[in-house]
Amino acid sequence: MLTRRAFIGSLASTGTAAVAWLRDDAIERVQAAERSAESQSPRDLAVDEDFWFQIQQASTLDRTHINLNNGGVCPSPRVVQDALRRYLEFSNQAPVHNMWRILEPEIEAVRTRLAASFGCNPEELAITRNASEALEICQLGLDLKPGDEVLTTNQDYPRMLTTWRQREKRDGIVLKLVSFPVPLKDPNELVRRFENALTPKTKVILVCHITNLTGQIFPVRRICQMGRQRGIEVIVDGAHAFAHFPFKHADLDCDYYGTSLHKWLLAPVGTGFL
């Protein structure tokens, strides 16, 4: 997956319009902060006020509030906000031409780069508005019959749980929830609990890559392979994982993956992919 460090480096090495989105010296300041960080231990970097000042200046947060919740929507950096404004103004200058003929075709370039970052074919990836929309496309679209069982945990995202319960009422499926201790001392316990809850009627597994409640990282690959061996489709809720730490699709081997891009990737609000 393309790291933030590599992305910043690619901007600096190209002569594209992307660089113009930033302040005159923004790239140089970010690179200087990056170089200073490389020579420091995590403990020393944590108290380096000069470094964190550069990070602070990249955003437009209200300084009268302390923002402790980046999980729902991370604040977009100035560079992203400036790009959004610039493209909105460009669209309105001549919508029929600028929006439809210039900007909309660029969506395919974004889709191609996202697919390369995730490690899949661009034709396998759809851009959505968030992880919930991406996951609900799967949840509401899979062919399930009365009595078919869906397996997930009691720590999955509430919207995903209510979506399955909607299908319980509409289609007569059965939702089964796996619980697990917090904190979890042995990740193997998660695999065992999923495996113990499987029955011949289990058709779908929904598993968080990282649960939003505790930050627990799930052994996704093992759960996906367990499902595949039994002909069970596995949906991975990646809302809090993509761009949070490095991985690709091959590391997970899942059937479906849904994520938001306005969390840890700091992309514009209302972006995600399936």
pLDDT by 10s per residue, the chain, length 274: 555 556 555 554 444 334 333 455 666 777 778 887 888 898 999 999 988 888 888 888 888 988 888 788 888 888 899 999 999 999 999 999 999 999 999 999 999 999 999 999 999 999 999 999 999 999 999 999 999 999 999 999 999 999 999 999 999 999 999 999 998 889 899 999 999 999 999 999 999 999 988 899 999 999 999 999 999 999 999 999 999 999 999 999 999 999 999 999 999 999 999 9
CB proximity list for 151: less than 8 A, separation 6 or greater: 176, 178, 194, 197, 198, 202, 204, 205, 206
Q: Strands across the sheet with 149-153, in order?
A: 127-128, 272-273, 256-260, 233-237, 202-208, 149-153, 174-178
HSE-CB at 69 with a 13 A cutoff on CA atoms is: 5
Q: What is the pLDDT of residues 97-135, one digit of tens each?
A: 999 999 999 999 999 999 999 999 999 999 999 999 999
Which listed CATH number (3.40.640.10, 3.10.580.10, 3.30.70.270, 3.40.50.720) goes with 127-273? 3.40.640.10
pTM strictly above 0.75: yes
Q: What is the pLDDT of residues 37-67, one digit of tens each?
A: 888 898 999 999 988 888 888 888 888 988 8
> What radius of gyration, in Å, describes the C-alpha atoms of the chain?
21
Residue 69, by phi and psi: left (phi above 0), alpha (psi -120 to 50) or beta?
Answer: beta
Q: Measured between alpha carbons, how far is 176 from 150 in angstroms, rounded to an integer?
A: 6
**Is 243:1 a contact under the CB 8 Å cutoff?**
yes
Domain ranges in the chain with CATH number 3.40.640.10 = 127-273
